[in-house]
Structure 1
Amino acid sequence: MVGLEAIRDAARRIEGQVLRTPVARSEGLTQAAGVPVLLKLEHQQTTGAFKLRGATNAVARLGDVAGVTTASTGNHGRALAHAARARGMRAVICMSSLVPDNKVRAIRDLGAEARIIGGSQDEAFLEAQRLEADEGFALIPPFDHPDVIAGQGTLGLEIIEQIPEAAAIAVPLSGGGLLAGVAAAAKAMRPDIRIIGISMERGAAMAASLAAGQPVEVRELPTLADSLGGGIGLQNRLTFPMVRDLMDDLILLTEDEIAAGIRHLALEGHVVEGAAAVGAGAVLAGRLRGPGPLVLIVSGANIDPATHADILRAA
């Protein structure tokens, strides 16, 4: 388990390198939920997603290495590329063919090498492992790593500092790094706070693993919440047990419910990707009602513009 001390250390380590993102009240979602709904606007982070926190913390703790590598559905890769460039390090980001082109381009724009490997996150991860074993790269996984979890946990610290009366936090759930970190921080300071994981019905690996009682492989499927795709790793050491022990509830959304969340947040002035809209989608679908105040983590803005336009037109 990654604890509060490690998360506070991470907060001191990354201070000045990541943004302290704002909080905004959503009147529309408050009306739908029947309790105050507050949005933690992490999509305004420098690289457009919360992943910069964990990547920056992990890179800051590295010694002398040939470079850094990872497997990513896009946002962690972009964050790692940003953190590596800040330290003058080489970065090779391995991704599957399911990663949207806009996320691949953003990684290359930061000077990193983007390698497209196979049709799943697990296949891409094998290439990252090869780079670690054969070429001396530091492999920084997107979630199952103590420094990454601690970095993501700084978001939980901020939420409790900004909204001390929060009764529940809804967290987009994929590999579990964000939920594990946020829950570890929030529950250490507020043991009564509820942590609600939200993912998609199509290929949610953590949900399938929790149901099986152990990490399992799940076929990756195209989804509007593309950054929630990918496996959790059959050798998962940290995020699976932390999510299992710290999460109070789990909600899985249909594609139509995710799209509704994207459209609603756009009406409130927030252009976000599918993963960032799952909290809003759950509220609008009547699946998430409280307790309140309810905090929704709006996790990322990196949606393909054409996809976003199509979703808005389909309303």
Structure 2
Amino acid sequence: MTLPVTLDDIRAAEARIRGHVRRTPMLADPRLSGLVLKMEHRQETGAFKLRGATNAVLSLPPERLARGVVTASTGNHGRALAHAARAAGVRAVVCLSRLVPPNKVAAVRELGAEVRITGDSQDEAMAEVARAVAAEGLTEVPPFDDPAVVAGQGTLGLEILGDLPAPRQVLVPLSGGGLASGVAAAVKALSPQTRMVGVSMERGAAMAASLAAGHPVTVAELPTLADSLGGGVGLENRITFAMCRALLDEVILVSEDEIAAAMRHIHAVTGDAVEGAAAVGVAAVLAGRAPAAGTVALLSGGNIAPEAFARILDGGRA
């Protein structure tokens, strides 16, 4: 099948965002033999989202960019868009639900974006985006279901293969599918034998439920350590559902206790605090549902409140 985002699109995104984002390191896990960690949580703004947001902003025609940009977010994409918009000197509006942790809300505000808190779900936040586009003339930069965003996230796949040309498998956090579909498009194009595995939480994993149903479905958003993986895929999903269905070899769901254990493990081997969404791949390995040997686990973000992480280190869930 012809995918809506191709290797050429991802290579063009890599050239476009070069100098605007960091190339993040890879680290061999000293406790899980054969496992390699892609340290994307050390990205500027603390998460992979900067890649897609920057590519989308830099791809906009000047007249649309000048009117400003708007998005809905569970936190990290909003922070990334605020950063990219400030760098471009344009207005940014970020719509968040009440489930977004306060530290992520504050981080978006600190980058100069206008924050609008609306409703108890990502879908309600997206309804405010539609209103802002219609009433205020802003340009939407979606958090995942957008070709420029997907291509930007796909640059992570190019980086992974640049450091490790043919891994056995790549474990990638799975939410709306922008990260998973972009990385999978790059990896499968260059290393077809590499297995692409999407990993999500058991509580409210919309893409996993949609793939199981064979079409986009709505699921209830529930509190979870992997809050960045919350939100729906959009019933009118145009890009990421089809790409995930075509490119992912497997989907694994992990429990809250497994996520917490993985967060403690990552801290022990790297010294870093990562958010729950970033730990799901390592959680799958620790739980015995994915092999360590020949595997890359993508650590997608590190934006977790210090007090929440302290509770997890003490043996709690947050």
Q: Same fold (TM over 0.5)?
A: yes
Worse-superposed segment, 132-141 or 170-179: 132-141
The equivalent of 2:278 in structure 1 is 276
Matches within 5 A, 1:7-156: 7-30=10-33, 36-63=34-61, 64-65=63-64, 66-156=67-157
Asked whether the 8 Å contact 2:72–2:129 carries over to 1, the reply is yes
The equivalent of 1:33 in structure 2 is none
Q: Deviations over 1:229-248 (max 9, x none)?
A: 00000000100010011000
The equivalent of 2:246 in structure 1 is 245
Q: Deviations over 1:171-206 (max 9, x none)?
A: 000000001000000110111110011000000000
Distance 2:305 2:240 in 1: 28
Matches within 5 A, 1:155-304: 155-268=156-269, 269-289=271-291, 292-304=293-305
1:165 to partner: Cα distance: 3.1
Give the ranges of 4+ consecutive aligned residues of structure 1 lying more than 3 Å apart after TM superposition.
none
Distance 2:294 2:284 in 1: 15
Q: Deviations over 1:273-293 (max 9, x none)?
A: 000011111111111115x41
1:314 to partner: Cα distance: 1.5
Asked whether the 8 Å contact 1:143–1:176 carries over to 2, the reply is yes
Q: Deviations over 1:233-266 (max 9, x none)?
A: 0000100010011000111011000000111111
1:28 to partner: Cα distance: 1.1
Distance 2:111 2:32 in 1: 36
Distance 2:188 2:134 in 1: 37
Letter in 1 for 2:51: R
Asked whether the 8 Å contact 1:29–1:280 carries over to 2, the reply is no
Distance 1:214 1:165 in 2: 31
Structure 1, unaligned runs of 5 or more: 31-35
After TM superposition, the score normalised by the length of structure 2 is 0.96
Distance 2:274 2:230 in 1: 16
Distance 1:282 1:309 in 2: 22
Asked whether the 8 Å contact 1:56–1:80 carries over to 2, the reply is yes
SS in 2 for 1:20: coil
| Equivalent pairs, count | 309
Letter in 1 for 2:97: S
1:29 to partner: Cα distance: 2.2
Alignment RMSD (CA, Å)? 0.8
